[in-house]
């Protein structure tokens, strides 16, 4: 960019996006920039649901900020497609129309000039880390993937991290998956301590992350009952350290097994009725 009409914001702030209210325009733009930077396909309806906006408002916002969703195939023939975000205003138009520099507009990461004088040690780092959407950090987990390192490098030109209680840095995919757990657990207390417990999980694979997050949702669902009974809910740090997800996972498995048994009984009864 020749004019510097933009500011960098850490991706770690994605955890601060609202969960139970409408997005502001600033939050919506940050969400769009994250998805674009992570090469995440989007839809108008998906944005509307995420931001708690109407689809017409999303379309108007995209038009006002000079960005469109580019689909691989004609939407008239192929419905429910996801597309890539694309800027509709090119740099040449901005250069010849100075007034456009002050407009609220989408920033294409490909237009940003490469940062110079980067530390030599960072130049050697691998930059092909997988990125996922801000709502579902890992939509297609593969349990066979290698364990997620505690301090994996994250970011193209700068490291993004969360400092734990013990002053250790959660970075890269470890940070992304921790944020996913934090959202699933839904008890916003002792985050720095919980980050240490997450850091200490030795063999953290995508499959294990899925198991932990599903169990965390179960814990979140029963927390209200515990509080109503005057009991103190377990903090996320203690829950992780005690590997409580293994207990919840067994509960989920038994619950699913009971449902299957009930369904088979219904089907057997129906057959008897029908002769």
pLDDT digits (tens, 9 = 90+) for 80-116: 678 888 777 665 555 555 565 556 777 776 665 544 4
Among the candidates 111, 136, 167, a domain finishes at 111
- Residue recorded with tokens 């502001």: 24
Among the candidates 111, 142, 172, a domain finishes at 111
C-alpha distances (whole Å) from 150 to each of 126, 130, 204 are: 16, 15, 9
Q: What count of other Cβ atoms lies within 10 Å of the Cβ of residue 87?
A: 18
Evaluate whether residue 65 is within a structural domain. Answer: yes
Closest CA to 181 of 151, 159, 211, 153: 211
- pLDDT tens, position by position, 148-207: 877 654 444 466 899 999 999 999 999 999 999 999 999 999 999 999 999 999 889 999
Query: How high is the pLDDT of residue 127?
Result: 42
Evaluate whether residue 27 is within a structural domain. Answer: yes
- pLDDT tens, position by position, 122-153: 444 444 444 445 544 554 555 556 778 776 54
pTM over 0.75: no
Domain interval for residue 170:
127-260
- The CA distance from 36 to 104, in Å, is 17
- The CA distance from 102 to 94, in Å, is 10
Which tokens in the block code for residue 23?
């997005």
Paired residues of 148 in beta bridges: none
Q: For residues 95 and 212, state if they share a domain.
A: no
Supply the CATH number for residue 16's domain: 1.10.10
Evaluate whether residue 242 is within a structural domain. Answer: yes
Among the candidates 78, 111, 144, a domain finishes at 111
Evaluate whether residue 272 is within a structural domain. Answer: no
Evaluate whether residue 6 is within a structural domain. Answer: no
Q: For residues 71 and 167, state if they share a domain.
A: no
Evaluate whether residue 98 is within a structural domain. Answer: yes
First to last CA, the chain: 75
Evaluate whether residue 178 is within a structural domain. Answer: yes
Structural domain tally of the chain? 2
């Amino acid at each position: 960019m020749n004019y510097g009409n933009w500011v960098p914001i850490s991706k770690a702030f994605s955890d601060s996006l609202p969960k139970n209210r409408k997005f502001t325009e600033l939050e919506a733009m940050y969400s769009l920039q994250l998805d674009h930077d992570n090469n995440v396909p989007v839809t108008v309806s998906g944005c509307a649901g995420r931001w708690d906006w109407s689809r017409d408002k999303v379309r108007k916002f995209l038009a006002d900020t000079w960005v469109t969703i580019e689909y691989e195939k004609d939407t008239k023939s192929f419905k429910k497609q996801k597309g890539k975000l694309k800027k509709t205003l090119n740099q040449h138009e901005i250069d010849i129309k100075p007034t456009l520099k002050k407009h609220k507009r989408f920033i294409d990461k490909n237009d940003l000039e490469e940062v110079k004088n980067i530390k030599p040690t960072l130049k050697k780092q691998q930059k092909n880390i997988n990125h996922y959407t801000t709502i579902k950090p890992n939509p297609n987990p593969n349990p066979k993937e290698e364990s997620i390192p505690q301090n994996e490098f994250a970011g193209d030109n700068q490291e993004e991290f969360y400092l734990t209680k013990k002053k250790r840095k959660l970075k890269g995919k470890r940070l992304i998956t921790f944020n996913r757990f934090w959202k699933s657990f839904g008890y916003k207390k002792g985050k720095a301590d919980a980050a240490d417990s997450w850091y200490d999980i030795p063999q953290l694979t995508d499959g294990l992350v899925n198991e932990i997050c599903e169990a965390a949702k179960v814990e979140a669902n029963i927390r209200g009952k515990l509080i109503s009974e005057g009991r103190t809910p377990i903090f996320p740090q203690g829950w992780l350290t005690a590997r409580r997800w293994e207990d919840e996972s067994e509960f989920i498995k038994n619950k699913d097994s009971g449902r299957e048994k009930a369904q088979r009984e219904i089907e057997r009864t129906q057959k008897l009725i029908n002769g």
